[in-house]
Amino acid sequence: MMDRRRIVQQWNRGAAAALVTLVRAEGSSYRAPGAHLLIGPHGEFSGSISGGCLEAEVVRKATWMARNGAVVERYSTLFDDTAEIPFGLGCGGIVDLLIESTDSPECHAFIQAAEASLDHAVRIAATWLPHEGRALRRAVLSSTGEVLFRSESLTSTDVAKIADALATGSAVDPSIYIEHLCPPQRLFVLGAGDDAKPVVTIAALLGWNVIVADGRAQLARIDRFPGAQSAIATASVEDLGIASKDCVVLMTHSYEQDRTLLTALLRSGAPPEYIGLLGASHRSSLLVHETAAILGRTVAECCARIWSPVGLDLGGDGPEAIALAVVSEIQAWHNGKLAASRRLTAERVAEQIANRISARYLQTECASR
């Protein structure tokens, strides 16, 4: 996602000569299909299509390769001196790179779609890859299937077939490369203390849209969180427009504020799928127990939405280590790679509450003797 931001920024500076897209990969590849490299007229570039083994070669030749139109070039990163395919560097795979000039309407349409996606719009780019005299053609669709751009040589029927295939999940001709340009993950950090700073910094490095909110106006300032998209002085969830696909981390360090915020988040019609709660497990258990009672729901229903203790168990100490654990868990969850977590369960909450009640009973008994 950060590559996409940098590519759009470079484009807007007017430093663009060729766009390279990784459209196919066989075997091991450092980058997956959908990786991009924007090359400027003087060799400057943004993005990447490998771990660094291909960039120098591609940057040097891309503009020349695309001088007569877009082309697809195959590169091998297998270590094989006898191979006819360049390059053979030992990374273990073969990649196909689409190389196109930035002067074409098709390239302009793609960059516009990429820029729109950074502003929370979903775009789908369908590219008919150049092959044996057939020029590159492209269509850009919205998330609802509306055609926002199509090459002059494409008919409405051509695009309608793609839209239907995408809507029904049908297979698409392999010579047509489909790229879903999804918006960045949006992260709401509720609590603007100093320990929120590394959370914002790390999330911003991944290209996420980060919003910081706190009722204390002296803390909720963008100059304290330069990586954030915005810093909002509010203690109300309703002011933030949080959606179900957003992620939220509660780190106000105030039990009452966390309970108020958590109640409001879970009460909404479409609560966020990830709500991370900073704090010790016994504190979080009591918080969830009370929130469930306020909402008239079971503890299990509330636990299904809450991630606490927040963050992967990576070890370490201090704000930076905690921030890394928090952002890592969200990243793993977002990509469907979360194998294990330390989330609360109804059984765990019941255990913590029982322990708390037992502790209070013992204190009362001791005090009465």
Q: Is the pLDDT of residue 88 over 50?
A: no
Structure tokens at 296: 């008239």
Compute the average pLDDT of residues 29-39: 92
Through-space distance between the first and last CA atoms of the chain, rounded to whole angstroms: 64
> Of 60, 46, 64, 68, nearest to 2 (Cα)?
46
Length of the chain: 369
Compute the average pLDDT of residues 210-227: 96
> Of 188, 191, 237, nearest to 208 (Cα)?
188
The model's pTM: 0.81
Compute the average pLDDT of residues 206-220: 96
| CA distance linking residue 275 with residue 265, whole number of Å | 8
| CA distance linking residue 295 with residue 79, whole number of Å | 61
The residues facing 140 across adjacent strands are 125, 149
Q: What is the pLDDT of residue 50?
A: 87
H-assigned helices in the chain: 2-12, 55-65, 105-118, 156-168, 196-205, 255-267, 281-295, 299-303, 319-334, 346-368
Q: What is the pLDDT of residue 362?
A: 57
Q: Is the pLDDT of residue 343 over 80?
A: no
Count the helices and strands in the chain (H runs, E runs): 10, 15
